């Protein structure tokens, strides 16, 4: 039976590591990106579509409730 190595390389085989496991300067990426903001102002999204979609969904729900109420009263009479 053989033992398989772990998921990553052994620390002594990893490139760029100094003695003790630290990395040399310049081997790591900078802490933050080098961009400082947006290139242009972002437009505000429209609120018309979400409101219209909610109204349509509400009307569909009311239509379904009305349909099933009509079916219920039709069966009772």
Does residue 4 lie in a domain region? no
Does residue 5 lie in a domain region? no
26-62 pLDDT, tens digit per residue, is: 676 556 555 666 677 878 888 888 899 999 999 999 9
Does residue 3 lie in a domain region? no
Q: What is the mean pLDDT of the chain?
A: 76
Does residue 1 lie in a domain region? no
The DSSP call for residue 23 is B
Q: Largest Cα–Cα distance in the chain? A: 89
Please give the pLDDT value at position 21. 66
CA distance 70 to 66: 6
Name which residue leads in pLDDT, 68 or 44. 68
Range of the domain at 53: 11-76
Coil vs helix vs strand at 49: helix
In the chain, the number of structural domains is 1
pTM confidence score? 0.43
On the question of pLDDT at 75 being above 60, the answer is yes
Q: Position of tokens 């009305």?
A: 66
Element (H, E) at 66: helix 48-76
């Amino acid at each position: 039976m053989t033992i398989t190595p772990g998921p990553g390389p052994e620390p002594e085989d990893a490139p760029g590591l100094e003695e003790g496991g630290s990395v040399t300067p310049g081997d790591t990426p900078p802490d933050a990106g080098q961009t400082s903001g947006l290139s242009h102002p972002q437009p505000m999204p429209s609120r018309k579509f979400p409101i219209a979609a909610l109204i349509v969904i509400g009307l569909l729900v009311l239509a379904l409730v009305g349909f099933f109420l009509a079916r219920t009263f039709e069966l009772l009479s």
